[in-house]
């Protein structure tokens, strides 16, 4: 009974935490735009949180560097189960123009298990909304 209520709450009110790893911050601006009234990501019940202990979904933007790799793993471990990771932007997916850089640690899916990929440089707010919506549809089917 309690698990059913928790599952319903997770599907109807997912809480996100944004993890900017670096790069140009274009993806970060698009996440903020998606939360504004024009795009209104909150209509799906999405609420941005400042701590991984309260988040269901981690949205990672920017390149994964050697410096941030261990921090990403620690933040992922702090997030309660079940947890989901969204790789947003070309930098998180494959390093984009920073791929040959000395500090590049690899694509995000080699560091954390990624649930949804949102390609683009930077992806539009509509793409983020579509990615979150597809993740929520996966949760509906799994329940």
Q: Has residue 2 got a pLDDT over 80?
A: no
In percent, how much of the chain has pLDDT > 90? 17
Q: Distance between alpha carbon 101 and the CA centroid of its chain, in Å?
A: 23
Burial classification of residue 128, based on how many CB atoms lie within 10 Å of its CB (0-12 exposed, 13-18 middle, 19 or more buried)? buried
Q: Which of 3-7, 19-23, 72-76 has the highest mean pLDDT?
A: 72-76
Q: What is the pLDDT of residue 6?
A: 61
Judge whether 114 lies within some domain.
yes
Q: What is the pLDDT of residue 138?
A: 81
Judge whether 33 lies within some domain.
yes
Judge whether 6 lies within some domain.
no
Judge whether 4 lies within some domain.
no
Range of the domain at 30: 24-138
List Cα–Cα distances, 39 to 28, 32, 43, 72, 125, in angstroms: 15, 10, 9, 28, 7
Say if pTM beats, i.e. exceeds, 0.75.
yes
CATH of the domain at 102: 3.40.50.12280
Banded model confidence at residue 101, pLDDT cuts 50, 70, 90? confident
Is the alpha carbon torsion for 84, 90, 93, 96 positive or negative? negative
Mean pLDDT, rounded, of the chain: 84
Q: What is the pLDDT of residue 86?
A: 92
In total, how many domains does the chain have?
A: 1
59-95 pLDDT per residue, tens = 999 888 888 889 999 999 999 888 899 999 888 888 8
Judge whether 97 lies within some domain.
yes
Residues across the chain: 143
Judge whether 99 lies within some domain.
yes
Judge whether 107 lies within some domain.
yes
Judge whether 2 lies within some domain.
no
């Amino acid at each position: 009974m309690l698990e059913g209520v928790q599952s319903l709450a997770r599907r109807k009110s997912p809480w996100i935490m944004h993890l900017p790893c670096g790069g140009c911050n274009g993806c970060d601006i698009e996440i903020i735009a998606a939360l504004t009234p024009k795009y209104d990501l909150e209509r799906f019940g999405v609420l941005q949180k400042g701590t991984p202990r309260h988040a269901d979904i981690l949205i990672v933007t920017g390149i994964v560097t050697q410096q941030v790799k261990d921090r990403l793993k620690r933040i992922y471990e702090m997030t309660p189960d079940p947890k989901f990771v969204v790789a947003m932007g070309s930098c998180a997916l494959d390093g984009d123009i920073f791929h040959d850089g000395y500090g590049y640690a690899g694509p995000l899916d080699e560091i954390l298990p990624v649930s949804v990929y949102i390609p683009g440089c930077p992806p539009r707010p509509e793409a983020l909304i579509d990615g979150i919506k597809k993740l929520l549809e996966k949760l509906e089917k799994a329940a």
